[in-house]
């Protein structure tokens, strides 16, 4: 795409988003008037612009320039000044007043407004007070202009420049010149590397203490995004040395200063010197303490009575519990905190339903929740009791754009009103969400955690379910017996075989578990496309778009999410004059596409409708992993409407499309907590750290009626034999053990 550079005057603003600076405007050049679009904040009619960009064709509006960068200057002609002042930029100046100002002061109008506002009061219709207000607004706009130009010198994009100025206002220049590393802490989306580039441009020394401290926090934050709550100090030092190219003494000093400032914590964890960001240290401490407190705040003394109630319920329902299930129900009715873990077909749902019936008979208030909308919906369908997401149960709120400023209305002062809280799919819960949940649990409330400990851990930091079990200080019941009905499903039996380290049985007659051999990656892709488009709909009666999900280990490559989505979109939802589409960062979104939310947005509004089409509920918050379908793309209003699987309807502004991606194929990690009628899994090649046993196990257990593996049989065996779990640095298990033992000694 050839880059072009054009100079002209802003004729009019067609559309402008004040929050992110996305603007559509007409630019008058010497030869023509052209339409321009892009992140061009705070421009107004009459301004002179020099823009850099490239031509593109919009399906509705035709030929236009996509702006990649720009420079602007204040108008200098009387006509330009009048147009600028008439644009509505300055409250108090409309077209009539603008004409009077320019008629009176001509090309000196801006100087008078900024430096001599009292002279404006000479114009009929302007009081002295109004003239002062106009001057104040103009000076603020001038300050913003200077800040935007100043930040352009550091190659800061207009989007981030707006965020920086909104945060610091007149202090922007001082902060960027003296400590741009503050931006990494204060501005969502600006990390260490961007701040470091700005610091180098500002001439800040490579061994500046602020740089070293920012690097240490950056490395620890990066580790958290990979699931770690802390890093061994040796690893942190090595990474910092490589990143900064400085002597280790600088890093030691930075760690010491950060600990004095209460930003990090050092201690011996799992036999090694370790460094935490304070956030995760305090979260682990609080979770360990609260779990142990809750486990001891409820103790049932009449165990015989509970056993009799279980027997009565079995007789009443005709459901005879297995020994493990009965033990789980007994513990659930008699202790403060219980963990129930088991694979598919081991009776978790039957166990939970029995617990719910007994609790109902006791008159208990029970609340059900799960980490995702899909998991909550499955929980509701399995139990007949309404379940909600943990975020919604905690009444999450969101302060601004920064996800680090998430908060919850439910906490110690406003706890969840329940006698018992049951959390499903607990393997997906990270340490920060567990911390928020436990803060909102009132003393005496019982907690039951349900999950499959052999599935992949949470996307966020921690390995909470595994650590709670590993601590050996909390009540745990393992459901291992596979029921006869479940034994008829090859999906369930093969899932357990994989989990034990045995190869799955493939292609038996009448099976629901198939393998299609393909030697080359391109052949795997073609086969998956044919399966989804024709073969499986014909064989199963399932709809390729709504009922089938391709799950892949990788994001990139021939069998990665990106390529598979392109191929499957073309097959299942090809271009059509009847379906509007929007291109955004190399992704074409089209009406009818399957899409997924890829980051938590706690502030986006949603609504729900009943069968009659009337609005029946509304709220805020769409979360990482929520999936749905594009219902409408509205170019005129720059919005895209998505209907999620749980019925939520959301209107996305075009500037928010970075939160969505196509979901014909998704990573196995993103499928956690979901269930699909048909699952198709490419098993061809990939790095050993990805191609693991628990990844394959997680993918297989997402299927309800059919699994199809496509690729190389040796790869399946290699994954089954690769019991390598990517280790996470977490301290929760040790903290629970230490605290329990300390409390036990203190109570003696």
Residue partners of 624: CB distance under 8 A and separation at least 6: 459, 597, 598, 599, 600
CA diameter of the chain: 96
Average pLDDT over residues 341-359: 93
Query: Which CATH architecture fits 286-483?
Result: 3-Layer(aba) Sandwich (3.40)
pLDDT tens for each residue of 562-573: 999 999 999 999
Q: What are the CB-based long-range contacts (under 8 Å, 24+) for 108-114?
A: 109/81, 109/85, 110/74, 110/81, 110/138, 113/138, 114/138, 114/139, 114/142
Average pLDDT over residues 47-66: 83
For the chain, the first-to-last Cα distance in angstroms comes to 76
Q: Is 346 annotated as a binding residue?
A: yes
Of 155 and 120, which is predicted with more confidence? 120
Average pLDDT over residues 451-468: 93
Q: Is 560 annotated as a binding residue?
A: no
Banded pLDDT at 307 (limits 50, 70, 90): confident
CA triple 650-68-10, angle to 5 deg: 90
Q: Is 372 annotated as a binding residue?
A: no
Beta strands 396-398 and 387-389, pairing class:
unpaired
Note the CATH number of domain 169-265. Answer: 1.10.10
Assigned CATH topology for domain 4-149:
OB fold (Dihydrolipoamide Acetyltransferase, E2P) (2.40.50)
Note the CATH number of domain 502-721. Answer: 3.40.50.300
Locate the domains of the chain by residue range.
4-149, 169-265, 286-483, 502-721
Give dist(CA 706, CA 744) in Å, integer: 50
Give dist(CA 588, CA 667) in Å, integer: 19
Average pLDDT over residues 148-157: 72
Lowest mean pLDDT across 126-135, 242-251, 390-399, 669-678: 390-399
Strand order in the sheet with 601-609: 615-622, 601-609, 649-653, 639-644, 627-634, 594-597, 660-662
pLDDT score of 535: 93
pLDDT tens for each residue of 661-700: 999 999 998 898 888 999 999 999 888 888 999 999 999 9
pLDDT score of 748: 58
Lowest mean pLDDT across 192-206, 219-233, 349-363, 677-691: 192-206
141: its two tokens? 């706009």
pLDDT score of 301: 65
Do the domains spanning 4-149 and 169-265 agree at the CATH topology level? Answer: no
pLDDT score of 130: 85
Q: Is 348 annotated as a binding residue?
A: yes
Instruction: Give which of 261, 160, 183, 278 is closest to 224, Cα–Cα.
Output: 278
- Side-chain half-sphere of 154: how many Cα atoms within 13 Å? 25
In angstroms, how far is CA 294 from the centroid of its own chain? 30
pLDDT of 13 > 70? The answer is yes
- Cβ(373)–Cβ(623) under 8 Å? yes
Q: Is 345 annotated as a binding residue?
A: yes
Lowest mean pLDDT across 73-87, 322-336, 383-397: 73-87
pLDDT of 20 > 60? The answer is yes
């Amino acid at each position: 795409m050839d880059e072009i550079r054009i100079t002209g005057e802003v004729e009019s603003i067609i559309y402008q988003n004040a929050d992110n600076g996305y603007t559509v405007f007409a630019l008058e050049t010497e030869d023509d008037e052209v339409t321009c679009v892009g992140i061009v904040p705070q421009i107004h009619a009459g301004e002179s612009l020099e823009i850099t960009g490239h031509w593109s064709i919009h399906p509705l509006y035709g030929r236009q320039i996509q702006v990649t960068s720009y420079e602007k200057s204040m108008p200098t002609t009387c006509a330009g000044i009048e147009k600028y002042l008439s644009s509505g930029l300055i409250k108090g100046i409309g077209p009539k007043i603008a004409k009077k100002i320019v008629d009176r002061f001509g090309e000196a109008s801006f100087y008078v407004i900024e430096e001599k506002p009292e002279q404006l009061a000479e114009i009929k219709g302007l009081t002295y007070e109004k003239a002062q207000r106009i001057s104040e607004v103009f000076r603020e706009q001038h300050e913003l202009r200077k800040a935007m130009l100043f930040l352009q010198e550091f190659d800061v994009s207009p989007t981030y420049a707006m965020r920086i100025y909104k945060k610091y206002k007149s202090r922007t220049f001082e902060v960027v010149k003296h400590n741009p590393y503050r931006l990494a802490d204060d501005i969502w989306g600006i990390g260490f590397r961007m701040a470091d580039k700005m610091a180098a441009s500002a001439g800040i020394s490579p061994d500046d203490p602020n740089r070293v401290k920012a690097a240490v926090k950056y490395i620890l934050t990066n580790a958290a995004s990979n699931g770690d709550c802390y890093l061994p100090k040796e690893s942190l030092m090595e990474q910092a040395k490589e990143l900064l190219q400085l002597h280790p003494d600088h890093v030691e000093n930075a760690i010491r200063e950060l600990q004095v400032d209460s930003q990090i914590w050092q201690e011996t964890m799992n036999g090694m010197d370790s460094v935490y960001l304070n956030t995760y240290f305090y979260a682990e401490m609080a979770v360990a303490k609260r779990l142990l407190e809750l486990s001891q705040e409820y103790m049932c003394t009449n165990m015989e009575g509970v056993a009799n109630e279980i027997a009565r319920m079995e007789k009443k329902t005709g459901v005879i519990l297995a020994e493990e299930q009965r033990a789980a129900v007994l513990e659930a009715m008699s202790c403060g905190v219980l963990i129930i873990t088991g694979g598919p077909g081991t009776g978790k749902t039957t166990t939970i339903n029995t617990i719910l019936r007994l609790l109902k008979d006791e008159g208990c208030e029970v609340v059900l929740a799960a980490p995702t909308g899909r998991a909550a919906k499955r929980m509701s369908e399995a139990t007949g009791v309404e379940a909600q997401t943990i975020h919604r149960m905690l009444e999450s709120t969101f302060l601004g754009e920064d996800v680090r400023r998430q908060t919850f209305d439910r906490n110690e002062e406003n706890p969840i009103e329940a006698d018992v809280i049951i959390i499903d799919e607990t393997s997906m819960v990270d340490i920060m969400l567990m911390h928020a949940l436990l803060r909102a649990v009132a003393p005496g409330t019982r907690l039951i955690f349900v999950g499959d400990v052999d599935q992949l851990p949470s996307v966020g930091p921690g390995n909470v379910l595994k650590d709670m079990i590993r601590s050996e200080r909390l009540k745990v019941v393992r459901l291992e017996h596979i029921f006869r009905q479940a034994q008829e499903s090859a999906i369930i039996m093969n899932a357990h075989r994989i989990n034990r380290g045995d190869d799955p049985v493939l292609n038996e007659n009448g099976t629901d578990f198939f393998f299609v051999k393909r030697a080359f990656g391109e052949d795997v892709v073609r086969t998956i496309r044919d399966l989804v488009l024709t073969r499986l709909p014909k064989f199963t009666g399932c709809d390729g778009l709504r009922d089938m999900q391709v799950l892949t280990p990788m994001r990139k490559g021939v069998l990665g999410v990106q390529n598979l989505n392109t191929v499957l979109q073309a097959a299942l939802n090809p271009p059509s004059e009847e379906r509007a589409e929007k291109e955004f960062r190399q992704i074409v979104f089209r009406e009818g596409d399957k899409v997924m939310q890829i980051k938590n947005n706690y502030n986006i509004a949603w609504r729900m409708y009943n069968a009659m089409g009337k609005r029946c509920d509304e709220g805020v918050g769409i979360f990482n992993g929520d999936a749905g379908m594009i219902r409408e793309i509205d170019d005129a209003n720059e919005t895209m409407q998505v209907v999620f699987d749980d019925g939520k309807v959301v209107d996305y502004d075009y500037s928010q499309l970075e939160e969505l991606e196509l979901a014909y194929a998704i990573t196995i990690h993103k499928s956690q907590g979901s269930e699909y009628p048909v699952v198709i899994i490419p098993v061809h090649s990939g790095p050993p750290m990805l191609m693991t046993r628990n990844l394959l196990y997680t993918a297989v257990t997402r299927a309800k009626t059919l699994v199809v593996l496509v690729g190389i049989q040796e790869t399946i065996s290699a994954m089954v034999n690769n019991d390598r779990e990517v280790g996470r640095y977490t301290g929760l298990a040790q903290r629970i053990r230490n605290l329990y033992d300390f409390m036990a000694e203190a109570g003696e």
